[in-house]
Copies of this chain bind each other. A is one copy, B any other.
Amino acid sequence: MILRDPVHGLVDFEGDAEVVVGALLRTREVQRLRRIRQLGLASLVFPGAEHSRFAHAVGAAHVMTRLTRRIRAVHDALPRERRLDDEAARDALAASLLHDLGHGPFSHLFEEVQPGARHHEAWTEDILRDPGTEVNAALEGLGRGTAERVAAMLHGEHRLPYLARAVSGTLDVDRADYLLRDSHMTGVRYGLYDLDWLLRSLAFGEVAGEDVLAVEGRKGLPPIEGFFLARHFMYQQVYHHKATRGAEALIRGIFVRVGELVRDGSPPEGLPDAMRRAARGEPVPLGEYLDLDDAALLHSFSRWERSRDPVLAQLAQRLRARDLPKTVPLPADDEGRWAAALARGRDVAAAAGLRPDLEVWLDVAEDTPYAEPDESAESPSPRGLWVLIRHRPIQRLSAVSFLLGELCGKTLRTPRLVFPTSLRGPIVDAIEDLLV
Contact = CB atoms under 8 A, between A and B. Distances in A.
A283 interface: no
Interface string A45-86: 011111110110010000000000000000000000000000
Contacts of A229: 229, 403
B321 A435 contact: no
- Give the secondary structure class of A's interface: helix
Nearest to A185: B6
A371 interface: no
A187 B2 CA distance: 12
Interface residues of A, number: 68
A381 interface: no
B186 A46 contact: no
A298 interface: yes
A352 interface: no
Contacts of A28: 320-321
A188 interface: yes
Interface stretch (A124-132, A231-239, A308-316): A231-239
Interface in A175-227: 184-190, 192, 194, 196-197, 200, 218, 221-222, 225-226
A189 B222 CA distance: 10
A257 interface: no
* Stoichiometry, copies per complex: 4
Contacts of A403: 229, 232, 369, 407
Contacts of A194: 189-190
Given A222-B236, A320-B28, A4 B295 contact: no
Contacts of A364: none
Nearest to A26: B322
A43 interface: yes
Interface string A401-423: 01100110010100000000000
Interface of A: 2-10, 26, 28, 31, 34-35, 43, 46-52, 54-55, 58, 184-190, 192, 194, 196-197, 200, 218, 221-222, 225-226, 229, 232-233, 236-237, 294-296, 298-299, 320-322, 329, 369, 391-392, 402-403, 406-407, 410, 412, 432, 435-436
27 contacts: A2-B200, A5-B187, A6-B49, A6-B184, A8-B187, A10-B200, A28-B320, A34-B43, A34-B50, A35-B298, A47-B54, A47-B55, A48-B55, A50-B51, A50-B52, A222-B233, A225-B233, A229-B229, A295-B295, A299-B299, A369-B403, A391-B432, A391-B436, A402-B412, A406-B406, A406-B407, A406-B410
